[in-house]
Chain A
């Protein structure tokens, strides 16, 4: 087993390199396509990022709020987590599709609004879960001394509990954001634009370079966002040992 185990371990360890090499190869192969359509690439990337930005502006405060209101209560917590998990099990294409009849009466069946709404719903699970876990994991002795030295419950929450939970919350936001980058590709399907357009368009036209270019840019966006947030998270965690 150890032979196989070590072999798998080695493979996994070299995975980032393999991916980087593959991405570099793809970039070379797709360079002519990307150069020819550079303006469109920028526009679609911008649309893609805008969907993420808009949805996260609402999803983060909402998820943190729900997590913050339920961290100390078992039943509301289970309810919030349960419904957020349920949403996650719906395939993205189905959820986007469901938005059309649901929002059509409001005159917003297609376009940015339903896409953003769907992304918000999808982001709730990691944000709520990490917010709750973070707030619950603050060591009891720290909270007890904070109270015993004369902090009000309000001060204990904002000066002790929340800052100590913040790295957890941020990591939840990171997970939510990175998965939103992928899910947002499907938004093209309901006319919200974004890099998904190249993927759907490429498939329809059997134009592999177009599909690959869309996929590559989406991956690069996801990796860039992930690294940025990870660095931020490390910064907030500087006083703690890395797990």
Chain B
């Protein structure tokens, strides 16, 4: 197998493609002529009732399940002609039952794939230690056996093992399904934080809609071997394709989504210029409309100004600043508490700020929905 990415796969090309895939177990037809693309660098959540084929779909993506007809492409490569063993070493895999080797220590479990890839031992040790920090397992647990760890710790080690050789694709089959609610929420939060840094292509199976809304950049709803709807979480809430989606999602879920969704994707494009002295601010009055965060006097508290045709207008002293990783709910709480108030959202990695009003958030939401693909019709 060639380990090079074929030239025609640009970074926006789907990482995984299923083309007209039909899949049977004996007489049972799980999928008939199903097609699906998995976007790179995103979390795609597969959700659906039990037996709808989620695990089978995941298995098709690393060749554990072979289709009767149709093609599966991973990184542009047809699995029918791929060296599956080499391919799987470059795809992380985590399941609900964890599947840690009970006769291997934590270290040996995490080192599994690097050892298969014949890394040098020093490099492996570095990697394992780095991962241990990433998944927040104390280093003194390295020589413990899996049955000496808690369920949550086992699953963290399972995630570390999947990430060990730094694969760009991660397949996760209900990884947090067996954990108690508090541990599950912790692992979800850690997973999100990790994903923000690593930008893996993740295919995540769950049957928990709240989990799907929280983790998914895109949700694919399966029922009886068909894709009922695929799209952004909000699209599921605001534009359900049919009654099945409506009943599966449930009405109260919009609030769940607002509670969980981060501000990041909804940042208004208008940036805030920051901390200019007032004189300079006045000199810039001719600049295009926008926001300005500047003190009235040098050394006084920052004030938010709006730059418009009529010149610079004072809007609000000491505006609330949220992080892009805060939730839509916290933003709405600030905005709805005072009519006409404006919120500043800071994006930590780029250190840029955006100002948002209720109308901005609403606009961003509806624009995003318009830009998203129309719901995929059931076939």
Contacts and interface: CB of A to CB of B under 8 A. Distances in A.
Q: Helix, strand, loop or mixed for chain A's interface?
A: helix
Contacts of B101: 142, 146, 160, 164
Contacts of A146: 99, 101
Interface string A151-195: 110010000100110000000000000000000000000000000
B327 to A, nearest CB: 34
A141 to B, nearest CB: 4
B310 interface: no
Contacts, number: 62
A149 B113 CA distance: 7
A141 B95 contact: yes
Contact of A239 (B90, B92, B145): B145
Nearest to A159: B101
B105 to A, nearest CB: 8
A144 B89 contact: no
Contact of A149 (B88, B98, B102, B147): B88
Contacts of A155: 116
A240 interface: yes
Contact of A150 (B98, B113, B147): B113
Given A145-B99, A163-B103, A241 B147 contact: yes
B86 interface: yes
Contact of B161 (A142, A149, A163, A241): A149
A241 B171 CA distance: 30
Contacts of B145: 239
Given A142-B102, A239-B103, A241-B147, A147 B86 contact: no
Interface string B70-113: 00000000000000011111111101011111110000000011
A139 interface: yes
A148 interface: yes
A149 B95 contact: no
B112 A164 contact: no
Chain B interface mostly = mixed
B97 A141 contact: yes
A164 B147 CA distance: 14
Contacts of B85: 150-152
A142 B116 contact: no
Contacts of B171: 148
Contact of B64 (A144, A164, A240): A144
A167 to B, nearest CB: 10
Given A141-B95, A145-B95, A239-B145, A151 B102 contact: no
A163 to B, nearest CB: 5
> How large, as a class, is the contact surface on chain A?
10 to 19
B62 interface: yes
Nearest to A140: B97
Given A239-B102, A241-B147, A150 B95 contact: no
A142 B95 CA distance: 10
A144 B58 CA distance: 13
A163 B101 CA distance: 10
B132 interface: no
Most buried by A among B89, B92, B98, B116: B116
A148 B161 contact: no
B176 to A, nearest CB: 15
B93 A149 contact: yes
Contacts of A151: 85, 116
Contacts of A240: 102, 147
Interface in A98-147: 139, 141-142, 144-147
Given A145-B95, A148-B93, A149-B89, 10 more contacts: A141-B97, A144-B64, A146-B99, A148-B64, A148-B91, A149-B88, A150-B90, A160-B101, A164-B103, A239-B103
17 contacts: A139-B97, A142-B99, A144-B64, A145-B93, A145-B98, A146-B101, A148-B62, A148-B93, A148-B171, A149-B161, A149-B162, A150-B113, A164-B101, A164-B102, A164-B103, A239-B102, A240-B102
The 9 closest A-B pairs by CB, nearest first: A145-B99, A150-B89, A141-B97, A150-B88, A148-B93, A141-B99, A239-B145, A142-B99, A163-B103
